[in-house]
Chain A
């Protein structure tokens, strides 16, 4: 078990700065997910922690030890790769055993460790098979077993579920959460899928362009994003954002200039309730998707095209609707994307008065 600290870490590939002055503390025993669009530097960060990539500057500490000059094998981390990176010429047993052999662990102990681990991940019947004879899910388990058997202080997982089909992905997701609970080891997990991040992580680090946008718990990220990027990255569909120029009938007073106003699709109300105080938009439903419990509408208004999500309500059939967003659910951002929290609304229009 170990806490990981990244202090002023930077990474350049030739003249290309991928990561600049990154500071991050990954708590001991946490399930931390690094999430962001591709090319945001999350995988590079992960690989630097594992020691597969050398940082250009800064320090990396694992469990109170600076590992800047420590070889990957000596860092007491284990990694699960996106493509599993199993040794194709070895059997499942050989794959799991390889690291132990290199550590010089005796045969008797290796046997016990392997049989214990394969029991946990359900590989016992497949120990003598080669990876090419296994299914995707089984290969994934071998990769996990190979990592677990070393009893590392830190587990590093680089998009481990991206090669699995949807059903298996959900299953492995729960298995990984259970595994984390059971082991209590620090997990560092990289994904580009915010749903995966939200469902698995107890700490989420949102990254973009080599910088940390926000590091928080999933709920905090959702309810209290610090900037426009996080607000739009977390949640499906993404937060609706209007440029302040397109916003009419909303007079705001704030210390900083408001550049953007946003609201979550699921917090907007479609029409009807006249007594709700909020910002009102008139628009036309372009598409509506019904997923059973929830309906997602795409609505074209004078201020742009927005998504609205409703739960357990019957599908709205009319094409022209008014959408009300309660004032407390409006998010304000500066034009550079920074969140503005202290905003007063001077003229609160009444819903019944109509929006546009």
Chain B
């Protein structure tokens, strides 16, 4: 065996390995490394501080609020998106021009850039001139502050996220529903199964891999929410919409506390890492049939 023959396979995978290492592996380790230093991005000296950054982070009341904001945002977004998408999918899972149209319509936000969406919704949610306040005014309700009040700002962002995500989720659910063989429903009908029983005992269990996939994907996505916050609220008012990634961004690129931001990044990495591990652990147990 010549040297070239030995090297050939490595040379084939080398480009992807190099790119992957440069842009994924190296930054991760560099971030973990930076999280133990005090550095402002420009000064030539980095001061080693050990786990000081983490200690400060966990003692910081703002950071704790950021964590709780992110968790609440994620829980609300994931439950609402998945739940709504499931209901929509059950309704849209049939043939017809109307259903195809609705399916296309609710999917369209998925292909629009988040920046446009954020601008659009900032305008819709404007307390004075927004379309939403006008609409609820017609229904006889008082005006809402939407993004401008700490009590409604986070929920407003959740609404935008659900609006954007529900179409894609519905599509995945419809695909899941269509993979259930028709004769299962017929067998259930002959077994005198009521619609609710069929849904709970047959459809839901058979959809569980789909539900699971969407929940995890949505969770990972929600934990990393950034664009809407950067454009619509900048974390405000009074820190009420500040989330992990936005917090990292602020400390890293506005206050230039790179070490501190990296420490927060490591915590985010940990959370998303745990979610991913759970996903793959449970994925291996998913239902296979035939």
From residue A226, how far is it (CB to closest CB) to chain B in Å? Answer: 34
Contact between B186 and A88, CB atoms less than 8 A apart:
no
Closest to A79 in B: B190
**Given A85-B183, A87-B184, A72:B197 Cβ within 8 A:** no
Contact between A132 and B289, CB atoms less than 8 A apart:
yes
For residue A122, CB closer than 8 A to chain B, the reply is: no
For residue B68, CB closer than 8 A to chain A, the reply is: no
Q: Which of A39-98 contact B (CB under 8 A)?
A: 50-52, 71-74, 77-79, 81-83, 85-90, 98
Q: Which residue in B191, B206, B289, B290 is a CB contact (below 8 Å) of A98?
A: B191
Chain A neighbourhood of B183, CB < 8 A: 81-83, 85
For residue A99, CB closer than 8 A to chain B, the reply is: yes
From residue A141, how far is it (CB to closest CB) to chain B in Å? Answer: 15
Assembly CA distance A72 to B191 (angstroms): 8
**Given A98-B201, A132-B289, A73:B184 Cβ within 8 A:** no
Assembly CA distance A87 to B288 (angstroms): 12
Q: Which of B191, B201, B289 has the most CB of A within 10 A?
A: B191
Chain B, residues 170-192, CB within 8 Å of chain A (1/0): the string is: 00000000000101101111111
Chain B neighbourhood of A98, CB < 8 A: 188, 191, 193, 201
Q: Is the interface of B mostly helix, strand, loop or mixed?
A: helix
Chain A neighbourhood of B288, CB < 8 A: 132
Q: Which residue in A73, A82, A87, A146 is a CB contact (below 8 Å) of B192?
A: A73
Closest to A52 in B: B186
For residue B28, CB closer than 8 A to chain A, the reply is: no
Contact between B192 and A99, CB atoms less than 8 A apart:
yes
From residue A235, how far is it (CB to closest CB) to chain B in Å? Answer: 32
Q: Which residue in A81, A83, A102 is a CB contact (below 8 Å) of B191?
A: A102
Q: How many residues of A contact B (CB 8 A)?
A: 27
Contact between A88 and B189, CB atoms less than 8 A apart:
no
Chain A neighbourhood of B191, CB < 8 A: 73, 98-99, 102, 146, 150
Contact between B202 and A73, CB atoms less than 8 A apart:
no
Q: Which of A72, A74, A87 has the most CB of B within 10 A?
A: A87
Closest to A89 in B: B205
Chain A neighbourhood of B287, CB < 8 A: 88-89
Contact between A81 and B194, CB atoms less than 8 A apart:
no
From residue A136, how far is it (CB to closest CB) to chain B in Å? Answer: 10
Assembly CA distance A328 to B252 (angstroms): 102
Contact between A85 and B197, CB atoms less than 8 A apart:
no
Give the size category of B's interface with A: 20 to 34
Chain A, residues 8-26, CB within 8 Å of chain B (1/0): the string is: 0000000000000000000
Chain B neighbourhood of A86, CB < 8 A: 187
From residue A65, how far is it (CB to closest CB) to chain B in Å? Answer: 17
For residue A103, CB closer than 8 A to chain B, the reply is: yes
Contact between B189 and A72, CB atoms less than 8 A apart:
yes
**Given A81-B183, A81-B186, A131-B289, A88:B206 Cβ within 8 A:** yes
From residue B178, how far is it (CB to closest CB) to chain A in Å? Answer: 15
Closest to B208 in A: A89
Assembly CA distance A83 to B187 (angstroms): 11
Contact between A78 and B190, CB atoms less than 8 A apart:
yes
From residue B96, how far is it (CB to closest CB) to chain A in Å? Answer: 14
From residue B52, how far is it (CB to closest CB) to chain A in Å? Answer: 51
Chain B neighbourhood of A51, CB < 8 A: 189-190
Chain A neighbourhood of B197, CB < 8 A: 102
Contact between A85 and B181, CB atoms less than 8 A apart:
yes
Chain B neighbourhood of A71, CB < 8 A: 189, 192
Q: Which residue in A72, A74, A89, A150 is a CB contact (below 8 Å) of B186?
A: A72
Contact between A79 and B187, CB atoms less than 8 A apart:
yes
Closest to A132 in B: B289
Closest to A75 in B: B190
Closest to B180 in A: A88
**Given A88-B206, A89-B205, A89-B287, A102:B192 Cβ within 8 A:** yes
Could you write out 30 A-B pairs with CB less than 8 Å apart?
A71-B189, A71-B192, A72-B186, A72-B190, A73-B190, A73-B191, A73-B193, A74-B192, A77-B190, A79-B186, A79-B187, A79-B190, A83-B181, A85-B181, A87-B184, A87-B188, A88-B287, A90-B205, A98-B191, A98-B201, A99-B190, A99-B191, A99-B192, A99-B193, A102-B191, A103-B192, A131-B289, A132-B288, A146-B187, A146-B191
Q: Nearest 10 A-B pairs (CB), nearest first?
A: A73-B192, A99-B191, A89-B205, A88-B289, A85-B183, A85-B187, A102-B192, A72-B189, A81-B183, A72-B190
Residues of B within 8 A of A (CB): 181, 183-184, 186-194, 197, 201-202, 205-206, 208, 287-290
Given contacts A72-B186, A103-B192, A146-B187, 13 further A-B contacts (CB under 8 A): A51-B190, A52-B186, A52-B189, A73-B191, A73-B193, A81-B186, A87-B184, A87-B188, A87-B202, A98-B188, A99-B191, A99-B192, A102-B191
